[in-house]
Amino acid sequence: MCAMKKKVLIDMIKLRDYEDLPVDAIFTSGPALNGLRTIREEATFEFTCRRCEDAPCISVCPADALEKEASGRVIRNVNLCVRCKSCIMICPFGTLMDDLFEIKPRDRIFDLNDEKDLEAFIRACPEETVTLYEGEEDPGEHIYRLNDRVCVKELVWNQ
Ligand code: SF4
Ligand code: SF4
């Protein structure tokens, strides 16, 4: 019988106090990083972004790196983005944290699909911003499921 995989709860509300977070996390089963978006970026576009109809972040991007999926969710093409931060500055809701698209050294990016990395990520993050979590999605507590191993606490604008 295989052991149940650990899950984390990332408190995006608390993490907003740490705009220059020294670590970040991805969710992958392979070693490649190219083209991958971090967990914070995935969570931000999934839960924080208001999916503006005329999305100024998309129009301002000089590299055509942002686009909308059919669901209205914005996604960033990591390989096109030149990290100019224009989208961060123009967003009228302050959705995008200043350091969101910065590239961090490989040894500061933890793979949450890996048990040891997951625990190291918890230790490396400011206290109580990322914790082990055994629960499920719970909108009443502002907790939402991002993937099999990650839940996010966020004030979702349309809930
Ligand atoms: S401008 Fe801000 S809130 Fe609107 S779609 Fe872009 S990131 Fe989301
Ligand atoms: S940081 Fe600049 S290049 Fe990257 S998505 Fe935002 S506006 Fe486009």
The string of pLDDT tens digits covering residues 18-66 is 878 889 898 875 555 556 789 999 999 999 999 999 999 999 999 999 9
Rounded CA separation 129/95 (Å): 18
Does some domain include residue 119? Answer: yes
Domain contains 1? no
Asked if residue 60 belongs to a domain, the reply is yes
Write the burial class of residue 24 (CB in 10 Å: 0-12 exposed, 13-18 middle, 19+ buried): buried
Average of pLDDT values for 54-79?
Answer: 96
For the whole model, what pTM was predicted? 0.92
Q: Is residue 2 part of a domain?
A: no
Domain-located, residue 159? no
Number of domains making up the chain: 1
- Host domain of residue 17: 8-153
Quick check: 121 and 39 in contact, CB under 8 A?
no
Nearest bound ligand to the CA of residue 80: 2
Does some domain include residue 115?
yes
Residues whose CB falls within 8 Å of the CB of residue 131, separated by 6 or more in sequence, listed in order: 8, 9, 11, 122
Question: Residue 65 C-alpha to ligand 2 middle, in angstroms?
Answer: 6
Per-residue confidence at 3, pLDDT binned at 50, 70, 90?
A: low
Residue 111 belongs to some domain of the structure: yes
> Which residue's CA is the nearest one to ligand 2's atom 4?
81
Looking at residue 1, its pLDDT comes to 47
Quick check: is 158 in a domain? Answer: no
Ligand nearest to the CA of 93: 1
